[in-house]
């Protein structure tokens, strides 16, 4: 499947990242600003996360785009060009037409509805590209993430009980599985 390199929403431009050190520094600065909240919920967000790791991530994203196996977008305010966060489509199952949406926002972009807007814009293109079932997963304690799924109209399929080891809390954790089907 293929998704557009750029998606325009009411307030944002979602764009494919091109790996440059300047971009890695820009995104890294927002990760650093937000590391406490990201660290709680995202396993990659270690407290000693570095700009080199950010560059490696963006390079990896470019490879996934080229292979057409993953599609991560930088979210930017279309008026100011300010970087807001990342939304992506990953874990694409071509046979069953399933994909998973993931996301994070910089702390200074939370509370404005940007992620709900981004998810709703991305899903239109996912369904148009042939996806039949979109999934969002989150820790059952991650209420902000659950609220994005709810606001965007996803259905709570259920809870996978203790399906993950939570490194931060040092305990097994439960995962919500949300879905939206084409046409819903
Ligand atoms: C999960 C995360 C992206 C949610 O961010 P968010 O800002 O709460 O979500 P949205 O961008 O959809 O914004 C919704 C909020 O903006 C408010 N809002 C303001 N203007 C709005 C508008 N025009 N439209 C919609 N909502 C608006 C909503 O009321 C809501 O705030 P509230 O929850 O305090 O009521 C963010 O908290 C985050 O990055 N967390 C850390 C990483 C993470 O957990 N990622 C997900 C892993 S599964």
**Which pTM does this prediction carry?**
0.97
Nearest residue CA, atom 40 of ligand 1?
A: 104
Nearest residue CA, atom 35 of ligand 1?
A: 111
At residue 48, the pLDDT reads 97
Tell me whether residue 123 is in a domain: yes
Are the C-beta atoms of residues 120 and 106 closer than 8 Å to each other? no
Number of domains comprising the chain: 1
Spatial CB neighbours of 43, under 8 Å, sequence gap ≥ 6:
167
Which CATH number covers residue 113? Answer: 3.40.630.30
* Mean local confidence (pLDDT), 108-134: 98
Average pLDDT of the residues of the chain: 98
Buried b (16+ CB within 10 A) or exposed e, 82-108: ebbbbbbbeebeeeebebbbbbbbbee
- Tens digits of per-residue pLDDT, 57-91? 999 999 999 999 999 999 999 999 999 999 999 99
Are the C-beta atoms of residues 85 and 37 closer than 8 Å to each other? no
At residue 23, the pLDDT reads 98
* Mean local confidence (pLDDT), 22-42: 98
Q: Name which of 26, 48, 47 is nearest 36 in CA terms.
A: 47
* Mean local confidence (pLDDT), 166-177: 97
Are the C-beta atoms of residues 153 and 119 closer than 8 Å to each other? no
The residues lining ligand 1, judged by C-beta closer than 6 Å to any ligand atom, are 37-38, 41-42, 103-105, 110-116, 138, 142, 144-145, 147-148, 151
Range of the domain at 87: 6-181
Tell me whether residue 1 is in a domain: no
Tell me whether residue 71 is in a domain: yes
């Amino acid at each position: 499947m293929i998704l557009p390199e750029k998606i325009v929403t009411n307030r944002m431009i979602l764009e494919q990242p091109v790996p440059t050190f300047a971009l890695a520094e820009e995104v890294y600065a927002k990760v650093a600003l937000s590391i406490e909240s990201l660290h709680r919920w995202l396993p990659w967000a270690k407290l000693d996360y570095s700009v080199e790791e950010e560059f490696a991530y963006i390079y990896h994203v470019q490879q996934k785009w080229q292979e057409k196996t993953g599609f991560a977008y930088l979210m930017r305010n279309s008026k100011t060009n300010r970087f807001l966060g990342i939304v992506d489509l990953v874990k694409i199952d071509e046979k069953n037409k399933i994909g998973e949406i993931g996301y994070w926002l910089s702390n200074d972009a939370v509370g404005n509805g940007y992620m709900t807007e981004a998810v709703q814009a991305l899903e239109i293109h996912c369904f148009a590209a042939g996806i039949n079932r979109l999934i969002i997963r989150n820790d059952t304690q991650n209420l902000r993430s659950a609220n994005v799924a709810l606001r965007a109209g996803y259905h709570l399929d259920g809870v996978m009980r203790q399906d993950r080891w939570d490194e931060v809390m040092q305990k097994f954790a439960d995962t919500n599985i949300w879905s939206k089907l084409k046409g819903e």
